[in-house]
């Protein structure tokens, strides 16, 4: 009964498994090198870390103030629902919430972690605090005998637009809308996301990765380093995306530990009626 859809899925899978959330852009990276004016080495990325020196809503204080709710951080820009807090660690970008088209994270650096490729491309980058946390996560994993690769981090609006347009050309508008992130709506543009794999490429950016020792380790420990598994199994209706056990999103330790312990989504956490708000 679903023959057309199944056929379509197979075609799509051939193009890229990770287009579901715009996770990976393997062949287009080299085309686009914008957004790399910021090329601080990773070991210069010690700037802020988790010290409480920034006057933002992310402050960890005894009263535990919550970051602003989803409703409070959305405005219409030329007909597009757009987030007002792109630089906050609590920013939520999804199919209903775009980043400003011209948003480039202010402090992109390259984390000092292994990548499964040699090219100096934008997808190596993350925001400084997230990059430092990723280095710590990789070190922690290694101590537990888990070897990881960083596969894809920052993705500019321009890259996502090219990817999306290529997809429309090759697969049609309908499929593009269903399987690729619209430019501005990929979380990778925040500089706070990294797709991670084990050194074995067979489950790279595929759902079975969640069952591997590497995937299990990430799920159990990422919160300790300030990361969440952003797209959980069974939460597709909330996040708008399929389960992606490889897609890590940095939110800071306090939020990450609470989100991972409760098994909720970032949307749930920040929703006015979410469990986090009821406390």
Quick one: 185 or 247, whose CB is closer to Zn ion?
Answer: 247
Q: What is each CA distance from 34 to 17, 137, 155, in whole angstroms? A: 25, 28, 10
Tokens, residue 50: 């988790």
Q: Which of 12, 19, 20, 23 binds Zn ion (CB under 5 A)?
A: 23
Q: What residue number has its CB nearest to Zn ion?
A: 23
Active site residues: 244
Q: How far is the CB of 195 from Zn ion (least distance, A)?
A: 4
Quick one: 172 or 208, whose CB is closer to Zn ion?
Answer: 208
Under the binding rule (CB under 5 A), the answer on residue 195 touching Zn ion is yes
Distance (Å, rounded) from C-alpha 122 to C-alpha 126?
9
Quick one: 19 or 276, whose CB is closer to Zn ion?
Answer: 19
How many CB atoms are located within 10 Å of the residue 46 CB? Answer: 11
Q: What are the phi and psi torsion angles at 17 (to 5°)?
A: -65, -25
Which of 71-79, 116-124, 191-199, 233-241 is the region at the interface with Zn ion (rule: CB under 5 A)?
Answer: 191-199
Which of 29-37, 114-122, 175-183, 192-200 is the region at the interface with Zn ion (rule: CB under 5 A)?
Answer: 192-200
Residues numbered 223 to 252 that lie near Zn ion (CB under 5 A) are 247
Q: What are the phi and psi torsion angles at 195 (to 5°)?
A: -85, 135
Q: How far is the CB of 139 from Zn ion (least distance, A)?
A: 22
**Residue 205 burial by CB count (10 A; 0-12/13-18/19+): exposed, middle or buried?**
buried
Q: How far is the CB of 21 from Zn ion (least distance, A)?
A: 5
Q: Are 229 and 215 in contact (CB under 8 A)?
A: no
Smallest CA-to-CA distance from 230 within 22, 71, 29, 50 is with: 22
Q: How far is the CB of 98 from Zn ion (least distance, A)?
A: 17
Q: How many residues make contact with Zn ion (CB under 5 A)? A: 3
Report the interface residues with Zn ion, using CB under 5 A.
Answer: 23, 195, 247
């Amino acid at each position: 009964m679903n023959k057309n859809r199944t056929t379509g899925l197979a075609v799509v899978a051939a193009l890229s498994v990770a287009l579901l959330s715009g996770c990976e852009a393997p062949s287009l990276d080299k085309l686009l090198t914008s957004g790399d004016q910021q090329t601080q080495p990773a070991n210069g990325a010690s700037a802020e870390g988790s010290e409480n020196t920034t006057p933002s809503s992310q402050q960890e204080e005894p009263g535990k103030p919550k970051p602003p709710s989803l409703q409070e951080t959305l405005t219409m820009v030329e007909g597009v629902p757009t987030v007002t807090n792109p630089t906050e660690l609590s920013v939520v970008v999804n199919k209903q919430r775009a980043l400003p088209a011209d948003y480039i994270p202010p402090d992109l650096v390259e984390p000092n972690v292994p990548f499964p490729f040699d090219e100096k491309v934008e997808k190596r980058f993350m925001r400084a605090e997230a990059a430092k946390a990723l280095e710590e996560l990789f070190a922690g994993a290694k101590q537990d005998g888990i070897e990881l690769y960083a596969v894809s981090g920052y993705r500019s609006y321009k890259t996502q637009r090219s990817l999306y347009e290529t997809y429309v050309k090759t697969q049609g508008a309908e499929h593009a809308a269903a399987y690729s992130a619209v430019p501005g709506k990929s979380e990778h543009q925040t500089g706070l996301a990294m797709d991670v794999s084990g050194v074995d490429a067979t489950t790279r950016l595929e759902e079975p990765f969640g069952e591997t020792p590497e995937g299990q380790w990430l799920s159990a420990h990422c919160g300790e380093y300030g990361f969440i598994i952003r797209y959980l199994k069974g939460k597709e209706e909330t996040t708008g995306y399929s389960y992606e056990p490889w897609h890590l999103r940095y939110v800071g330790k306090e939020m990450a530990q609470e989100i991972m312990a409760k098994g909720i989504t970032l949307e749930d956490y920040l929703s006015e009626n979410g469990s986090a708000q009821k406390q």
